[in-house]
Amino acid sequence: MNKTVAALAAVAALLAGCSTQPPAPEGTIPLAQPLPAENGRSHAPGVAGVNFPARDAAGALGQRSVYYDFNQYAVPVRDLPVVMAHGQFLLGHPQAHATLEGHCDERGSREYNLGLGQRRADGVRKLLEAQGVPPVQTDAVSMGSEKPFNPAHTEAAWAQNRRTDIRYRGE
């Protein structure tokens, strides 16, 4: 486990080192929160007997989003436990499949935000693959700024919208 943490930290540092964007202002990052349950369900029966992790479960596996600083796409160190927990879940459930949805805040052009959202989703996917998750278990897609979690036009709302959501097929 310690080797896995060290490997993921090294990959995250490498990805962060490739970024040329400026750091985000202080105080703009919300704590990672689980996505609300859809249709009142905390988890679905799953695919072929898989019980997906509950969205309201305590701990990193219950978190479904990775949050980013402004104009960044490297997975922040603070969210590595979330990616690692979902990687372990996917490794233990080879029939499960996750879609990684990269999102942006409303600032920036449509084209730029689609590209940034894709880089965010791809970054999470690369970390999952570094853990040994086969590429066939994940898809990485960009939503750009088209599906904001919080539609307000404030710094706090924008911070909630800069994310990669982890969604399981069959939920």
- What is the per-residue pLDDT across 133-148, written as a single tens digit (0 to 9) for each? 999 999 999 999 999 9
Residue 89 lies in a domain: yes
- pLDDT mean over 39-57: 49
Do the Cβ atoms of 124 and 75 come closer than 8 Å?
Answer: yes
Of 40, 43, 78, which is closest to residue 57 (Cα–Cα)? 43
In a domain? residue 128: yes
Whether 166 and 124 have beta carbons less than 8 Å apart is answered as yes
In this predicted structure, the answer to whether residue 2 has a pLDDT above a threshold of 60 is no
High-pLDDT (> 90) share of the chain, %: 62
Domain that residue 140 falls in: 2-22+44-168
Asked, for residue 35, whether it belongs to a domain, the answer is no
Q: What pLDDT was estimated at residue 52?
A: 67
Mean pLDDT of the chain: 78
Residue 102 lies in a domain: yes
Angle between helical axes of 110-130 and 80-92 (0-180°, round to 10): 60
Structurally, the chain folds into a number of domains equal to 1
* Residue of 34 and 86 predicted with greater confidence: 86
Least confident segment among 8-22, 73-87, 93-107, 140-154: 8-22
CATH number at residue 140: 3.30.1330.60
pLDDT attached to residue 16: 42
Q: What pLDDT does 104 receive?
A: 97
The 10s digit of each residue's pLDDT in 117-134 is: 999 999 999 999 999 999
pLDDT value, residue 13:
45
Whole-angstrom Cα distance, residue 170 to residue 158?
29
What pLDDT does 59 receive?
79
pLDDT value of position 161: 97
